[in-house]
A and B are shown apart, each in its own frame.
Chain A
Amino acid sequence: MSTTLVKNSALRSALRPTAPTAAKRAALTLTATRGKATLPDLPYDYGALEPAISGKIMELHHSKHHNTYVTSYNAASEKMAEAVQKGDITAQIATQPLINFHGGGHTNHTLFWENLAPKSSGGGEPPSGPLGQSIDKHFGSLDAMKENFNAALAGIQGSGWAWLVQDNQTGALQIKTYANQDPVVGQFHPVLGIDAWEHAYYLQYENRKAEYFKNIWDVINWKAADKRFK
């Protein structure tokens, strides 16, 4: 079961890149422990998102899948630091896919737990304010956006995510899908994401993924999405 800690700072610090002091920069050549990723605690119990997502899934998803991304990212990160220190470019390039995959997995899941909430904490309550207005502007209505979003989810081949993203230059909203654990980077930043990997729903929904995509909106935490919207 999840413990309750100071949740926000734990989540934030898991993602915030540390700003190195001079001493730390010097220490970089000696150790790779700076910037080590940690598994953030969930801001709610494993069973709190039922019936949309079962407690069994939440426990496995967080304590096994996400945790594996964290430990694997840290291992890859150390390998990368060694390769950088040795000036071994080939080794760096060979390690990069592991960083992308496990670092992406860590990033995506951290954002995911944040944008889910039990109904008692506002899960499912529609967005208001600037984000709500922008959704209406770009999609016509919240329901139309959800239809779009679920169509995108259904269209994912294999493993991946669908995200409501915001264009960093124009501010426009868009729905995009990303394969495997590719994170939202570059031109867009993430506003709201839904995991479409089979592990996210299989124990409860089996192959009936459309049902999962429909039900998860009951526990979407629009307040978190509001904060990400610029």
Chain B
Amino acid sequence: MQLSNFTLPLALDWILSAAQSRLNPVQQNLVSSANVSVPAASMTYTLPPLPYSYDALEPHFDAETMEIHHSKHHQTYVTNLNAALAGSEFSTLAVDEVITKLDQLPASKQTAVRNHGGGHANHSFFWKNLKPNTTLSSEGLKAAIERDFSSFEAFQQQFEKAAATVFGSGWAWLVKREGSLAIVTTKNQDSPLMGEAVAGASGFPIIGLDVWEHAYYLKFRNKRPDYIKAYWNVVNWDEASTRFAQSD
């Protein structure tokens, strides 16, 4: 990764190279879009820019919700995560890794990192998990869905039911674990990446749907099932196929 273009005064040499390679694309985008200098000590996790404009998922997901969801809700998770991990050695890890190590954090930090780290991880995943006009063509993922759910329609029905019946706030996921696919749900900002003991679910997320009310209320009001149906128009099967191929 090239860093020579940067003028950000980040003290990079103390960051682990693995974490750095994950941060690089984010930093590049931040420089090009914001043109601000960022003091190293106060900024570890950053809000990733959307890979598309706020209205790109219309008419299915409305622009107003996308903007508030990204620039307000997700930003708040990032801000609060940075506050919770300020000065901690764990702040050098990518967020997907931090949330697998909650039990290694000081007890006083665990809840905050579970909520805000989970929120940051989940939403970072979510934006990439959305894209207009993709189709499930990858033989790998398509075949696996048909194998594990008997048909694509059956999979959709099960996913819709899971997403509709989450009590309160949470997420519905298609995950891959030990070679097969499963539909799981988590509450609040828990992620299957956190594992069974923490989140009551495990596995590598292939697709996921935010069913917190803020994800759909402005356009769909109380009608969560309508929002879930709309999701099928914007789920990013390209990203899902890539993730499926990458995972065990």
Contact = CB atoms under 8 A, between A and B. Distances in A.
A120 B189 CA distance: 41
B168 A199 contact: no
Contact of B167 (A68, A157, A180, A206): A180
Contacts of A129: none
A60 to B, nearest CB: 6
Contact of A64 (B115, B169, B221): B221
Contacts of B187: 158
Interface stretch (B43-51, B85-93, B124-132, B209-217): B209-217
Given A60-B221, A157-B115, A197 B213 contact: yes
Contacts of A202: 213-214, 217-218
A93 interface: no
Given A180-B168, A207-B68, A198 B221 contact: no
Nearest to A105: B167
B169 A203 contact: no
A101 interface: yes
A199 B222 contact: yes
Interface residues of A, number: 20
A158 B222 contact: no
B202 interface: no
Interface in B183-199: 187-189
B214 A158 contact: no
B76 interface: yes
Contact of B73 (A65, A159, A181, A207): A207
Contacts of B213: 159, 197-199, 202
Contact of A203 (B73, B170, B217): B217
B188 A198 contact: no
B212 A158 contact: yes
Contacts of A1: none
Contacts of A179: 168
A101 B188 CA distance: 16
B217 A158 contact: no
A142 to B, nearest CB: 30
Contact of B72 (A101, A158, A207): A207
Nearest to A159: B168
B115 to A, nearest CB: 5
Nearest to B213: A198
B168 A158 contact: yes
Interface of B: 68, 72-73, 76, 111, 115, 167-170, 187-189, 212-214, 217-218, 221-222
The 7 closest A-B pairs by CB, nearest first: A158-B169, A159-B168, A198-B213, A158-B188, A180-B168, A207-B72, A64-B222
24 contacts: A60-B221, A68-B222, A157-B188, A158-B168, A158-B169, A158-B187, A158-B189, A159-B168, A159-B169, A179-B168, A180-B167, A181-B167, A198-B212, A198-B217, A199-B213, A199-B217, A199-B222, A202-B217, A202-B218, A203-B217, A206-B68, A207-B68, A207-B72, A207-B76
Given A159-B168, A160-B168, A199-B217, 10 more contacts: A60-B221, A157-B188, A157-B189, A158-B168, A158-B169, A158-B170, A199-B213, A202-B213, A202-B214, A202-B217
